[in-house]
Amino acid sequence: MASSLQAQKLKSLARQAGFELAGIAAAEPLADNQRYDHWVRRGMAGRMSYLTDHRAALRMDPKHLLPSARSVLCVGKVYNGPQPYSTSRTPHELGWISRYAWGDDYHRIVRLGLEKVAEQMDGVEHRICVDTAPLLERSFARMAGLGWIGRNTCLINQNLGSWLFLGEMLLSAELDPDTPAPDRCGTCRRCIDACPTGALVPGPHGWQLDARLCISYFTIELHGPIDEQHRARMGWHVFGCDICQDVCPWNRRAALTAEPAFSPRFESPPLEQLAAVTEKEFREMFRGSAVERARYRGFLRNVAVAMGNSGLPCFRAPLQRLAQSNDDVIAEHARWALGQLQ
């Protein structure tokens, strides 16, 4: 089927599989490789070694993942819901979980959709990639015409916004590539000015995300203690952060998902309830959710910080319990939070 696998037919199959966006890019090294290399060399990946070890070199050419690759099918799936953004809510006794983690883990959902496409292809070698593979997926999505990479470093589509999960399928078939989307951020810098920790910084190739200053990095990727100088600016975030997307003008009328798996199981749960969960309850509560990535220790650490930032005396008792934890990281952050309440 390789010779008859036309780009338009493939994109149509992707839309039938539930993807709102689909485009084709050539499976070649990208100009963005230089941008990524500079980002790594400046240490902006923090402790995320999977971005800087031998897998960093694999990202330089998709043929490292599939030697026969000639084209890349790039897809986008909307996960936004009708719920208010974090910037329009008053936290009170609640904790914020990033919008992308409210439903089922997107890795499985996006992969299943791409597998449906692959089932209808014959005679074409392929490899499915969903986030975890060493591939510059936003850059390939941009080349495939799905959107541009905004100053918040997210892929933004003019009609749908930026609440998008991305996926790719490397293909041995040579298909006509789509035209990259133009950058439409203009002079806007709302995401830059709204970031509480100043994580969006200028670089020689445009704005970059310094993970070492990012709330999402602190609450998800960093498994040890959070530096005290950053804790007070983390607000009520217990898993991830949506601020740079919440304030983006292109998300004012962002599309809403039709995917049942992304229906919220939790949005902004009460902090006192979260502080009381056991490790077994944590696994049960967030099974099949991206929140599992924070791990139990990291999650309670984040809850303690959010309680301290609330300034509410009602959290004194749960924080005192956490301060007695056998885990040094949880106990130390709880003690810090008690100091914030005082």
Could you tell me the residue ranges of all domains in the chain? 2-80+104-171, 211-341
Catalytic-role residue among 53, 61, 105, 131: 131
The structure tokens listed for 313 are 């005396």
Judging by DSSP bridges, how do beta strands 126-129 and 164-171 pair with one another? Answer: antiparallel
pLDDT in tens, the chain (342 residues): 444 479 999 999 999 999 999 999 999 999 999 999 999 999 999 999 988 887 888 889 999 999 999 999 999 999 999 999 999 988 779 999 999 999 999 999 999 999 999 999 988 999 999 988 899 999 999 999 999 999 999 999 999 999 999 999 999 999 999 999 999 999 999 999 999 999 999 998 889 999 999 999 999 999 999 999 999 999 999 999 999 999 999 999 999 999 999 999 887 899 999 999 999 999 999 999 999 999 999 999 999 999 999 999 999 999 999 999 999 999 999 999 999 998
CB-based contact 156:184 (threshold 8 Å): yes
pTM of the model: 0.94
The structure tokens listed for 224 are 């040890």
Cβ partners under 8 Å of residue 139, min gap 6: 30, 32, 149
CB-based contact 195:91 (threshold 8 Å): no
SS3 295: helix
Partner residues linked to 171 by β-bridges = 71, 126
Name the packing angle between helices 295-310 and 328-341 (round to 10°). 10
pLDDT attached to residue 66: 97
pLDDT attached to residue 268: 84
Angle (CA) 207-211-216 rounded to 5° is 110
Instruction: Compute the CA torsion angle 18, 21, 26, 30 (nearest 10 deg).
Output: -120
- 61 in catalytic set: no
Q: Whole-angstrom Cα distance, residue 106 to residue 91?
A: 26
Q: Whole-angstrom Cα distance, residue 136 to residue 40?
A: 13
CB-based contact 55:3 (threshold 8 Å): no
pLDDT attached to residue 317: 98
Which secondary structure element, helix H or strand E, spans residue 321, and what is its range? helix 316-322
